[in-house]
């Protein structure tokens, strides 16, 4: 059975359970993937998979089942399991599906050009060898993925999707004899093969930096200084900030320090951060949410004010707050008006941090971890690469001690972020 037929069959069986609300998503996917290991081609992989996701709410009790078999017998069993899961659960009026629209979405590049993709993969591997001779490719994965399917709920939502994208990710390190840099990586997703992967996202920057990070100095002592986060690292750091302060879990259990600060200034007024799956920089962004509504872009923080929590419909109902207009993590940050060079020129002592390896931040936002693939900034200039250097601070304080946001930004298909610099970070070494 194809995805549409299996979805229709599943909806019929869900209706027979007597559930008041139910939904079904059925998708098929096909992926072709080239692997490179240790700098050499190693594998070509073709995977065909299905996903059938069933949700039902009966007497305010919810069950959810995911299977990958597309046949009637498997669906019958899954619907029975879904009902049993719901009946074993506790009644909670916060669970709900919502009425939706009927749409069809064709996104990205559903029909991949595998010959061209292989050519781009060969080209990238050769170019890294020629242009970055001290870089060793630990692993490279280049793939095309196609997905096709439908979402249905019993309140009228019907969303058909056909989408496809190319992805390229590479993990590497710099080497000179027995000396090596820390590993780093870069990744892009795109729906076009019109330009080399190497010219996209942060590929070239990170590869060039790896060669400069073979020889490092250990930071001496401890000082409070400025830190400039690269766009790759900014995505990770902002992800921690959002998870800790505006996400479902911390709002539901009331541990977010920002739980009562909607509409208030929580960050420097230059900070505007959005979840924007429709933004032109985002490839195959989310078009609907599994509760049944269409996704819309929104600002999480606008000009430093907390504009919207990132809440699911369930937690919104549970807490009386507004649900987020999408469930994506397609982060788009508004660039600043200063070139990166000028921001760095104004820093007397600090770090340029490309990767952060840290523990999960504490509930209050305290964080600490190792600054990886990073450089010292001294008297306005980037100097030595560093090793064994830790940074610590507080996420909430950090976004209030903004030094600057660069006018340049990196778009890699899943986010669009600039460099940003903050003051007041504790930097410690040996």
Partner 1 sequence: MLTDIVTKYRDAFAPGAATELRAQRNLSRRVVLRAGSITQNQRTDTKGIGARVYQDGVYGFASAADLSDDAVRAVLKSATDNAAFMARHAGRGTGPLPAIASGQRPADADFADLPQTAYIDCLQALDSYIQQKYPGLESRTLVSSADSMEKLLLTSDGYTSHILAPRSYIYVMLTAKGKDGAPVEVFEPLGGSGTFDRHFADPAALYPAVDRLYEMVMQKAEGVYADAGVKTVIMAGELAGMLAHEAVGHTVEADLVLGGSVAGPNLHKQVASPLVSMTDFAHTAFGQAAPLPVYVDDEGVLAEDAVLIENGILKGYMHNRQSAQHFEARPQGNARAWLFSDEPLIRMRNTAVHPGKDKLDDMIASVEDGYYLLHTGNGQADTTGEFMFGITMGYEIKHGKLGRAIRDTTISGVAFEMLKTVDMVSDTVSWGSSGFCGKKQPMPVGLGGPELKCRVTIGGR
Q: Does 116 bind partner 1 (CB under 8 A)?
A: no
CA atoms within 13 A of residue 69's CA, in its CB half-sphere: 10
Q: Does 195 bind partner 1 (CB under 8 A)?
A: no
Stretch that binds partner 1, among 16-24, 181-189, 230-238, 294-302 (CB under 8 A): 181-189
Q: Does 173 bind partner 1 (CB under 8 A)?
A: yes
Q: Is the CB of residue 268 less than 8 Å from the CB of residue 260?
A: no
In which residue are the tokens 């999408």 written? 326
Judged by beta carbon, residue 146 or residue 372, the one nearer partner 1 is 372
Stretch that binds partner 1, among 37-45, 271-279, 294-302, 399-407 (CB under 8 A): 37-45
Assign 248 to helix, strand or coil: helix
In sign, the C-alpha dihedral spanning 189, 195, 201, 205 is: positive
> Of 42, 102, 116, 192, which lies in the binding site for partner 1, with binding defined by CB under 8 A?
42
| Alpha-carbon span 240 to 393, nearest angstrom | 13
CA atoms within 13 A of residue 255's CA, in its CB half-sphere: 12
Q: Is the CB of residue 406 less than 8 Å from the CB of residue 425?
A: no
Q: Does 85 bind partner 1 (CB under 8 A)?
A: yes
Stretch that binds partner 1, among 1-9, 179-187, 199-207, 232-240 (CB under 8 A): 179-187
> Of 5, 15, 76, 84, which lies in the binding site for partner 1, with binding defined by CB under 8 A?
84
Judged by beta carbon, residue 254 or residue 263, the one nearer partner 1 is 254
Judged by CB under 8 A, the chain residues 385 through 424 that form the site for partner 1 are 387-388, 390, 392
Stretch that binds partner 1, among 168-176, 268-276, 285-293, 326-334 (CB under 8 A): 168-176
In which residue are the tokens 């770090």 written? 351
Contacts of 6 (CB under 8 A, 6+ apart): 26, 52, 70, 71, 75
Taking the complex as a whole, the smallest distance from the CB of residue 143 to partner 1 amounts, in Å, to 12
Buried b (16+ CB within 10 A) or exposed e, 51-85: bbbbbbbbebbbbbbebeebeeebbeebbeebbeb
Judged by CB under 8 A, the chain residues 63 through 82 that form the site for partner 1 are 63-70, 78, 81
Judged by beta carbon, residue 5 or residue 87, the one nearer partner 1 is 87
Spatial CA neighbour of 136 closest among 75, 230, 207, 189: 207
Q: Does 14 bind partner 1 (CB under 8 A)?
A: no
Q: Does 92 bind partner 1 (CB under 8 A)?
A: yes
Taking the complex as a whole, the smallest distance from the CB of residue 208 to partner 1 amounts, in Å, to 17
């Amino acid at each position: 059975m194809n995805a549409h037929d299996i979805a229709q069959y599943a909806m019929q069986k869900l209706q027979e359970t007597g559930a008041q609300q139910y939904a079904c998503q059925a998708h098929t996917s096909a992926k072709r993937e080239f692997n490179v290991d240790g700098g050499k081609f190693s594998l070509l992989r073709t995977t065909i998979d299905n996903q059938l996701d069933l949700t039902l709410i009966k007497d305010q009790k919810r069950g959810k089942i995911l299977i990958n078999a597309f046949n009637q017998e498997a669906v019958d069993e899954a619907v029975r399991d879904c009902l049993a899961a719901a009946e074993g659960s506790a009644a909670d009026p916060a669970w709900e599906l919502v009425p939706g629209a009927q749409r069809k979405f064709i996104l990205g590049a559903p029909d991949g050009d595998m010959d061209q993709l292989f050519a781009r993969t060969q080209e990238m591997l050769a170019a890294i060898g020629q242009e970055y001779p001290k870089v060793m490719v630990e692993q490279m994965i280049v793939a095309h993925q196609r997905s096709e399917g439908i979402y249905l709920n019993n309140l009228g939502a019907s969303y058909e999707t056909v989408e496809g994208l190319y992805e390229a990710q590479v993990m590497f390190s710099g080497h000179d004899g027995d000396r090596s840099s820390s590993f780093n990586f870069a990744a892009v997703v795109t729906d076009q093969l019109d330009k080399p992967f190497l010219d996209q996202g942060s590929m070239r920057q990170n590869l060039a930096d790896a060669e400069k990070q073979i020889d490092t100095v250990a930071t001496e002592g401890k000082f409070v200084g400025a830190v400039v986060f690269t766009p790759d690292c900014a995505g990770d750091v902002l992800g921690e900030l959002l998870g800790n302060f505006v996400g479902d879990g911390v709002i539901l259990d009331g541990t977010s320090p920002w739980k009562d600060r909607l509409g208030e200034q929580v960050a420097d007024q230059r900070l505007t951060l959005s979840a924007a799956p429709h933004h032109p920089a985002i490839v195959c962004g989310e078009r609907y949410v599994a509760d049944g509504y269409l996704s819309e872009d929104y600002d999480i923080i606008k000009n430093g004010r907390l504009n919207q929590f990132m809440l699911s419909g369930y937690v919104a109902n549970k807490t009386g707050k507004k649900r987020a207009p999408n469930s994506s993590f397609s982060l788009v940050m508004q660039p600043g008006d200063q070139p990166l060079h000028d921001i760095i020129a104004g820093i007397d002592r600090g770090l340029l941090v490309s990767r952060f390896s840290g523990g999960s931040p504490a509930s209050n936002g305290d964080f600490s971890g190792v600054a990886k693939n990073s450089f010292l900034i001294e008297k306005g200039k980037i100097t030595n690469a560093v090793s064994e250097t830790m940074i610590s601070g507080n996420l909430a304080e950090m976004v209030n001690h903004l030094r600057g946001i660069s006018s340049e930004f990196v778009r890699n298909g899943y986010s669009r972020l600039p460099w940003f610099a903050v003051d007041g970070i504790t930097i410690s070494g040996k």
